Amino acid sequence: MASQDGGRTVALSRQLSLAHDELRRLIDDLKNDLDAGAAQRRSDGETLLTHCLAFCTALETHHRGEDEGLFAQLVRERPDLAGTVAKLVEDHGLISSILTRVAELARQAAATGGGPGPDEAVRRELDGLAAIMESHFRYEERTISEALDRTVPDDDWPEPVLRLRAPSPGQRPPGGA
């Protein structure tokens, strides 16, 4: 069993929480850019579209890493968590569809030069996404982190289980192929 004072699974729990905190920060930055009228150009030269697409990619990569790595291993170790994991994976699908919509709206805003209408549409989607993300992250941290901190053995995990980046070229993705 994972000990409460350390161990690999407790470290994964902390890493999961830190990743969520970073994703929260990124969406807040994106919303702040919109509020500042950053549809044309940010001071560092990054366009709103680029910023939106980078955020969407970061969140998708995080969720794919959970689905293919951490969650798959958790269900192997704790089959009783299968229902919880299925709900979280379902949430990932919902969030993915919202991310697709955010990217579409950001592209439209970029094509039209932004302004109150297009920027407001992006903002509404981001507000909804932020609310869903927060609910999802809290549930995940409460259920998965508790399992990692207290009840999941941390030995014999055959490969990295929490990937926050896409695999490097030539690197085998989690779970095979």
Instruction: Please give the pLDDT value at position 118.
Output: 76
- CB-count exposure of residue 104 (10 Å: 0-12, 13-18, 19+): middle
**pTM > 0.85: yes or no:** no
Per-position pLDDT tens, the chain of length 177:
333 444 767 778 888 899 999 999 999 988 888 877 654 444 444 577 888 888 999 999 999 989 988 898 889 888 999 999 999 999 999 999 999 999 998 888 778 776 677 778 888 999 999 999 999 999 999 998 888 877 666 555 555 555 544 444 444 333 333
Residues 6+ apart with CB under 8 A from 172: none
Q: Dihedral through CA 73, CA 24, CA 64, CA 42, nearest 10?
A: -150
In CATH, 8-151 is 3.40.1190.10: no
Instruction: Please give the pLDDT value at position 37.
Output: 66
Q: What tokens appear for 177 in the block?
A: 């192929």
Instruction: Please give the pLDDT value at position 50.
Output: 85
Instruction: Please give the pLDDT value at position 46.
Output: 54
Instruction: Please give the pLDDT value at position 108.
Output: 84
Task: Please report, for the chain, the start and end positions of each structural domain, with discontinuous segments joined by +.
Answer: 8-151
Instruction: Please give the pLDDT value at position 44.
Output: 43
- CB-count exposure of residue 98 (10 Å: 0-12, 13-18, 19+): middle
From residue 98, alpha-carbon distances to 67, 84, 114 in Å are 18, 21, 20
Instruction: Please give the pLDDT value at position 86.
Output: 96
d(CA 43, CA 36): 11
Instruction: Please give the pLDDT value at position 115.
Output: 67
d(CA 39, CA 127): 17
